[in-house]
Amino acid sequence: MATEHAPGAGEGLEELRRRGILHVDMDAFFVAVEQRERPELRGRQVIVGFPGERSVVLSASYEARAFGVRSAMPMARALRQCPSALVVPPRHTLYYSVSRQLMEIFGEFTHLVEPLSVDEAFLDVSGAVRRLGAPEEIAAQIKARIRADLGITASVGVASSKFVAKIASARSKPDGLLVVRPEDTVQYLHSLPVGALWGIGQKAGEALARLGIHTVADLAHTPDSTLSRALGASGLHAKQLSWGRDPRRVTPVREEKSVGAEETFAVDVADDAVLHRELLRLAHRVAERLRASGLAGWTVALKLRYADFSTLSRSHTLSVPTDSAQQLYAEARALLLGLGTRPQRVRLIGLRAERLERGTGVPRQMSLDMSEENWRTAESALDEVSARFGSGTLRPARLLAPDARDRPARSHSPVMPDGPPLFPADDDGGRGH
């Protein structure tokens, strides 16, 4: 645990507390964990993801990013830009295990921790400055603990608001620490390109550029009426941010709304057997994630996207929540069969557990022969093997060696909740895991 420090010379507690918001963001998280486990990958061009024309990059090492590789980029494009890259299949169970350790470290410094994803969180350390020192000292201690305990690195932004702290962490990557003092906030923001503001993506940036707005300072001095015409309400919100106005507090509790997995097939599929096998694969991914998070779902949802990109979904609510792959599969399969004859081939199939609650004390459906509990025991053993040796090392016999024509492109992260995502794919702020 970090040792006590007195407040900085010449600075009172209230002054220190004013800049007590930290945004801690791991550097290329998925890749960093893989490099920790496999030292031979260090210093190399590494991409975490699955090969395939429709798959995407989940994470890229900084060596690969030098070639323009980014998270969510199509894998085919990434390999064209960085042909010597080594593609490593993801091990989500391992990543979530490291993430739990990361959140435990945060909790030792403050109880005000708001996770944003598997590898980043806001921390309010304003109440800890008397005990641990200035916010930047606390940030340095957190970085040191992460390096010592987890063997990976983090970048940290320190500011008086969440928005500015997040910008600061992104601007300090990799393995950096950037402090933006309250009195310097507006000057710092006004030095940045307008795209640094939340909500200003490519299209919004192009619309602003047509008005001659290229920097945050430009936007800050643009009349409200002009911004409203160009961007609607989001334009006025961006203007508030441009002056450093972000009153949101760090909110410690952010429950996941759902946990799901979906796959895009390399070739559109009409065969029920292929779809059923893929549902079983997805059910194991979702159940593994549920158990890793101590969650269970009351509702099972099926998603289908047809060849023409039309999409439908169906769901069923259970009598008791589940984290069992076999039960998720059975319910999703029943939903699929209930659709009857499909009008087209299937491009994408997805499975999601919804209405989640913590697993401790949750009632479970028990069969007379204890088969459900036997399945859960077997699946928990699969979790342990996957965490140690990688996903897919041990799996149900039905999932072994599918025909290459059936094999999905694996274009989606298999454990992505919706809502404000608690565990999204490694993005690193244009960063990538």
| Residues with a known catalytic role | 120
- What separation in angstroms does the CA of 251 have from each of 72, 122, 255? 28, 9, 11
**In sequence order, what DSSP letters do the residues of 206-259 get, joined into one string?**
HHHHHTT--BHHHHHTS-HHHHHHHHTHHHHHHHHHHTT---PPP-S----SEE
Other C-beta atoms closer than 10 Å to the C-beta of 4 total 9
Question: Which token pair is 250?
Answer: 């760090």
| Cβ partners under 8 Å of residue 170, min gap 6 | 25, 155, 157, 429, 430, 431
| Cβ partners under 8 Å of residue 72, min gap 6 | 56, 57, 425, 427
Peptide bond into 51 cis (omega under 30): no
Q: Is 149 annotated as a binding residue?
A: no
Other C-beta atoms closer than 10 Å to the C-beta of 45 total 20
Q: Is 25 annotated as a binding residue?
A: yes
Cα 400 from Cα 423, distance rounded (Å): 28
Find out whether 37 and 25 touch, Cβ atoms under 8 Å.
no
Find out whether 351 and 262 touch, Cβ atoms under 8 Å.
yes
Other C-beta atoms closer than 10 Å to the C-beta of 333 total 19
Question: Which token pair is 130?
Answer: 């008397």
Task: Quickly tell me which residue has 């087209």 as its tokens.
Answer: 344
What is the Cα Rg of the chain in Å?
Answer: 23
Binding-site residues, in ranges, read 25, 119
